[in-house]
C-alpha cells in the first residue's frame, strides 16, 4: 500500500481531531453524569431488558448532536445526504476512538454487549449504503430523519434457522394488490429493541430461491405498525442484556414503494450492508487491540517481579512483540481493503475475498492481543478495574456477527478456487 496522499491525511487528522473534541465536550460529561447507572447493570436495564429511560435519552442525545455536527452520517453516501468520506477514513477514525477510550463506553456505542453506535451510524442502526438503492418514497419519507440521527434502523436478515446459511430463510412475503404481506421471525438483530425501522429480507420467489438464483427482497418496515413484535431481547456474553433481539412479523403490510433495491434481488442488497459491517468492525478491533497493547506496555514498565520490571523478562517482551506484529499486519490489511472498496465503488464491484480476510484476521487478532494483555497483567487483568476483560468480551463477540471466522474462510477459499488469486 502506498503512503496516503496529503489531502487524505489532512481529512483523517481533521476528522479525528473533530470527533475527539465532540466526545470530550458532549459525551464524556454525559457519562460522568450517569456514571452510577452505567457502572451497575442492575440499574442500567429495566425488567423488560431495555435500557432505563435516562440512558436511552442520553444515547439519543449523543446521536442527535452527532447528527447535527456531521459525524453520525459522515461515512454515508453523499447521494442520500451523508458526508461521503472515503472508506479508509472510517478505519482510521474507529481505530483512533477505540485506542484512546478503550472499552466500556456505552454512550459511544461499545460496552455491555452493545455494538450499535450512537456516535457514528453504521449499517446495523444508521444510514447504510443500502439506502442508495431505496425508492423515492423512502428517500423522501425516511432517509432524512435517519441521516439526521433522529431515527434509527436495524438490519433484519438472520433467522432462527438461517444464520450463516441464508438459503434457509423461512420469512416470506406475498404480493396483495399494491402491498406486500410479510410473515416470519428474525433473530439476533442488532438494535431491534430500539429501531424505528427494520430492513427486513424475505423470500418473494420460492422457485428462484430453491435454485439459489435470488428470490429474496428487502423491505423497509415501520417497527411501530401492527403485526411487528420487537419485545424479545437476548443477554450477551457476560451481561444481563444487550441491543440484540428478535423481530416477529405477522401479516405485516408494506407498500410497494417501500421495497429496498429490486424485487427478488435482496441478497445482493444485503451483501452491501454485510460487507460494510465487516469492514466497519476492523477499525474498532485495531483500536481495541492497540489500547490493550498500550496498557500492557505501561504495566510491564511499572510492575516488578524478582527485583526487575516485567518489561525486562523475555517472556513478556515476546508477548508484546507478537501483539505489535499482529496489529501491524492487521492494520495494513484493513487499510488496503478499504482502498479497494473505495476504488471499486463506481463499478459496483465488492472485494469479497479481501473483506472476508479482514473480518477473519482482524477480529481474531484483537482477541489474541487482549488475551495476552490479561496474561501480562496477571490477576489485575481479570479484574473489572482494568477493563481488559470487557475488551476481550468485545473482541470475542465480534467474531460472530456478519459471518463467523469459519464462514469467512469458506468464502476466501471459494473465491480462490474460482480464480480470484490476486492480492
Report pLDDT digits (tens) over 19-78: 999 999 999 999 999 999 999 999 999 999 999 999 999 999 999 999 999 999 999 999
> How far is the C-alpha of 67 from the C-alpha of 62, rounded, in Å?
8
Distance CA 412, CA 274 (A): 15
Residue with cell 487482549: 370
**Stretch 268-275: mean pLDDT:** 81
Q: Kind of pairing, strands 179-190 and 244-255? A: antiparallel
Q: Write the pLDDT tens digit of every residue in 72-127.
A: 999 999 999 999 999 999 999 999 999 999 998 999 887 777 878 899 998 889 99
pLDDT at 422: 86
Nearest CA among 216, 221, 229, 217 for reference residue 253? 221
Please determine whether the domains at 153-265 and 267-417 fall in the same fold group of CATH: no
**Cell triple for residue 87?**
472508506
Fold of the 153-265 domain: Butyryl-CoA Dehydrogenase, subunit A; domain 2 (2.40.110)
Q: How far is CA 219 from the centre of its chain?
A: 21
The domain locations on the chain are 6-147, 153-265, 267-417
Residue 258 in 3-state DSSP?
helix
Q: What is the DSSP letter of 265?
A: B
C-alpha cell at 41: 447493570
Calculate the CA dihedral of residues 97, 99, 100, 106 and round it to 10 degrees.
60
Contact call for residues 66 and 149 (beta carbons, < 8 A): yes
| Residue 101: predicted pLDDT | 95
Q: 149 in helix, strand or coil?
A: coil
- Reading the block at residue 215, the C-alpha cell is 428470490
pLDDT of residue 3: 60
pLDDT of amino acid 206: 96
Please report which confidence band the pLDDT of residue 366 belongs to, taking 50, 70 and 90 as the band edges: very high
Q: According to the 3-state scheme, what is the secondary structure of 5-68?
A: CHHHHHHHHHHHHHHHHHHHHHHHHHHHHCHHHHCCHHHHECCCCCECHHHHHHHHHHHHHHHH
Residue 185 has pLDDT above 80, yes or no: yes
| Rounded average pLDDT over 185-207 | 97
DSSP of 158-223:
-BTTBSS-GGG---EEEEETTEEEEEEEEEEEETTTT-SEEEEEEE--HHHHHTTS--EEEEEEET
Instruction: Identify the band that residue 278 occupies on the pLDDT scale cut at 50, 70 and 90.
Output: confident
Is-contact 153 191, C-beta < 8 A? yes
What are the DSSP calls for 72-131, one per residue?
Answer: TTTTS-GGGTS----HHHHHHHHHHHHHHH-S-BTTTTBBTTB---SSS--TTTS--GGG
The pTM (predicted TM-score) of the whole model is: 0.94
Cα–Cα separations (whole angstroms), residue 380 to 14, 132, 178, 299, 318: 36, 48, 62, 10, 20
Q: Are 267 and 216 a contacting pair, CB within 8 Å?
A: yes
Is the per-residue pLDDT at 2 higher than 60? no
Bridging pattern class, strands 304-305 and 259-260: unpaired
Does CATH place domain 267-417 in 1.20.1440.230? no
Model pLDDT for residues 151-175, shown as the tens digit of each residue: 999 999 999 999 888 899 999 999 9
Q: Average pLDDT of 314-339? A: 97
Q: Residue 260 pLDDT more than 60?
A: yes
CA nearest to 218, candidates 200, 192, 239: 200
Amino acid at each position: 500500500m502506498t503512503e496516503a496522499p496529503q489531502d487524505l491525511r489532512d481529512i483523517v487528522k481533521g476528522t479525528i481531531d473533530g470527533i475527539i473534541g465532540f466526545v470530550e465536550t458532549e459525551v464524556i460529561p454525559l457519562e460522568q453524569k450517569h456514571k452510577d447507572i452505567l457502572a451497575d447493570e442492575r440499574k442500567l436495564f429495566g425488567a423488560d431488558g431495555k435500557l432505563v429511560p435516562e440512558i436511552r435519552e442520553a444515547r439519543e442525545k449523543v446521536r442527535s448532536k452527532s447528527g447535527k455536527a456531521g459525524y453520525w452520517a459522515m461515512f454515508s453516501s453523499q447521494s442520500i445526504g451523508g458526508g461521503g468520506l472515503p472508506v479508509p477514513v472510517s478505519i482510521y477514525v474507529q481505530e483512533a476512538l477505540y485506542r484512546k477510550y478503550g472499552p466500556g463506553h456505552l454512550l459511544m456505542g461499545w460496552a455491555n454487549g452493545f455494538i450499535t453506535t450512537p456516535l457514528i451510524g453504521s449499517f446495523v442502526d444508521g444510514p447504510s449504503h443500502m439506502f442508495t438503492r431505496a425508492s423515492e418514497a423512502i428517500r423522501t419519507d425516511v432517509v432524512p430523519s435517519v441521516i439526521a440521527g433522529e431515527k434509527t434502523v436495524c438490519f433484519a436478515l438472520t433467522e432462527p434457522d438461517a444464520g450463516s446459511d441464508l438459503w434457509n430463510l423461512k420469512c416470506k412475503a406475498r404480493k396483495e394488490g399494491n402491498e406486500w404481506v410479510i410473515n416470519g421471525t428474525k433473530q439476533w438483530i442488532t438494535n431491534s429493541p430500539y429501531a424505528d425501522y427494520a430492513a427486513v429480507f424475505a423470500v418473494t420467489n420460492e422457485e428462484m430461491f430453491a435454485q439459489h438464483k435470488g428470490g429474496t427482497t428487502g423491505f423497509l418496515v415501520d417497527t411501530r405498525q401492527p403485526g411487528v413484535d420487537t419485545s424479545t431481547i437476548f443477554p450477551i456474553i457476560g451481561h444481563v442484556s444487550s441491543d440484540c433481539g428478535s423481530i416477529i412479523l405477522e401479516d405485516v403490510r408494506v407498500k410497494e414503494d417501500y421495497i429496498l433495491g429490486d424485487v427478488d434481488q435482496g441478497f445482493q442488497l444485503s451483501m452491501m450492508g454485510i460487507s460494510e459491517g465487516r469492514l466497519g468492525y476492523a477499525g474498532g478491533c485495531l483500536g481495541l487491540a492497540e489500547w490493550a497493547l498500550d496498557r500492557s506496555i505501561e504495566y510491564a514498565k511499572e510492575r516488578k517481579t524478582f527485583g526487575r520490571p516485567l518489561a525486562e523478562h523475555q517472556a513478556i517482551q515476546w508477548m508484546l512483540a507478537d501483539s505489535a506484529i499482529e496489529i501491524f499486519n492487521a492494520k495494513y490489511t484493513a487499510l488496503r481493503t478499504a482502498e479497494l472498496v473505495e476504488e471499486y465503488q463506481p463499478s459496483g464491484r465488492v472485494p469479497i475475498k479481501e473483506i472476508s480476510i479482514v473480518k477473519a484476521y482482524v477480529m481474531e487478532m484483537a482477541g489474541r492481543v487482549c488475551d495476552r494483555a490479561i496474561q501480562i497483567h496477571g490477576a489485575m487483568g481479570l479484574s473489572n478495574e482494568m477493563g481488559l476483560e470487557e475488551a476481550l468480551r468485545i473482541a470475542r463477540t465480534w467474531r460472530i456477527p456478519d459471518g463467523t471466522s469459519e464462514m469467512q474462510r469458506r468464502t476466501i477459499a471459494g473465491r480462490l478456487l474460482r480464480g480470484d488469486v490476486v492480492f
